[in-house]
Homo-oligomer: A and B are copies of this chain.
Amino acid sequence: MRVLAIDPGYGRCGVAVIEKDGGKEKYIYSDCIETLATSPFDERLSTVADEVKRLIEKFKPDALAMERLFFTSNQKTAMQVSEVRGAILHVASSAGVPTFEYTPGQIKSATTGSGRADKKQITQMIHMLLKIEKAIKHDDEYDAIAVGITHLACAR
């Protein structure tokens, strides 16, 4: 079972590939797709969606998992993140990859055992669960890895 996990965004979008083999999670890949704030929105959205398409072709995941926010204070940002999520859903669907969505609460519970864990606790747990050789620069990348761990925990 291999999952492509995504923390969707149009400025920074965390992506991670994790798999479960014989009950043990294994880190394969992660990155943070970044786009320029000076670029038009549809270009930024397409940069993210095209990179997700490339990752699907490269890593051939069995599933794509994304974080889903239900409530937010900034409605414009929420709409634009939803637009990115829609483009990703279509890319996955076109490639025949089933999609799954998890809320922040589900992600916290699945990675740390507590629905009220903070970012630091999640990061520590990720390093306990997975052997990650590369340096991780942004929170978005950790968030994507946490989504992947959640999916593997939920998709037993």
Contacts and interface: CB of A to CB of B under 8 A. Distances in A.
Name the residue in A83, A85, A92 with the highest tally of chain B Cβ atoms < 10 Å from its Cβ.
Answer: A83
A83 to B, nearest CB: 3
Q: How large is the interface on A (under 10, 10 to 19, 20 to 34, 35 or more residues)?
A: 20 to 34
A105 interface: no
Nearest to A94: B46
Contact of A42 (B49, B78, B80, B99): B99
Given A89-B42, A90-B49, A99-B42, A75 B84 contact: no
A55 interface: no
Interface of A: 41-43, 45-46, 49-50, 70-71, 75-76, 78-80, 82-87, 89-94, 99
